[in-house]
Structure 1
Amino acid sequence: MRHERGHFPGVFALVNGLAKEGKLTAEQERFRRANNDWYDAAYPTPDASVYDPERNPGAVAWFRTTATHLVERVPGYLEILAAHGVECQEVRSADPGRVVYKDDVQVVVVPPPSGAGAVPTGA
């Protein structure tokens, strides 16, 4: 299912959506809250203007491959999604789109039309 901004949501948005709908168990909610807080402290949050739908339609954030410390916590989110029957796919790309923001651990890009350049690599 596409996000309201026109792209496919990432694992954080998917798990946060389950939480918003009240579908997480107490243990899953504790994991989500603790890890979301950890991520909020672990790397910079780009200014919201990079997601402006007129200037940067469909802008999405990607972790850089060197941000292994950030990727290490993703399996817990994947376990929650699997427990709720939410399918997802890992996507990697050397050229995910036009870069509108970057820092040491992430880039925010406007994807090319129809997602050209993004390569699914598994669940």
Structure 2
Amino acid sequence: MYVRFQSPTPNARGTYPGVFGLVNSLAAQGLLSPGEEAFRRDVRLESADPGKVIYEDDDQIVVVPRPAG
């Protein structure tokens, strides 16, 4: 099952931004508190082999992780 949280309202391009796109937009507008901005900057998940990419756009990537073990 795939669950994607997104804006209920389309952006100027007509797409519905996901959670990270929304947070990045708030940051670009200066609407995050200092603590929220610090958290946003600290939460950067990177991996050389994240798993199977099932969706990718300019703002986000969705991956099905590889099985543990």
TM-score interval for Structure 1 and Structure 2 normalised by the shorter chain? 0.5 to 0.7
Instruction: Measure, in 1, the Cα distance between the counterparts of 2:59 and 2:40.
Output: 20
TM-score normalized by structure 2? 0.54
Structure richer in helix, relative to its length: 1
Check if 1:3 corresponds to 2:11.
Answer: yes
For structure 2, the 5+ residue unaligned runs are: 1-8, 50-55
Equivalent pairs: percent with the same residue? 33
Cα distance, 1:60–1:23 mapped onto 2, change above 3 Å: closer
Aligned-pair Cα RMSD in Å: 3.2
Check if 1:29 corresponds to 2:30.
Answer: no
For structure 1, the 5+ residue unaligned runs are: 45-49, 52-58, 69-123
Structure richer in strand, relative to its length: 1
Q: Name the aligned partner's letter for residue 42 of structure 1.
A: S
Q: Deviation per CA, 1:45-101, whole angstroms, max 9, x where unpaired?
A: xxxxx86xxxxxxx885523x338xxxxxxxxxxxxxxxxxxxxxxxxxxxxxxxxx
Higher RCO, 1 vs 2 (CA within 8 Å, ≥6 residues apart): 1
Check if 1:42 corresponds to 2:57.
Answer: no
- Alignment match, 1:63: 62
Count of residues in correspondence between the two structures: 52
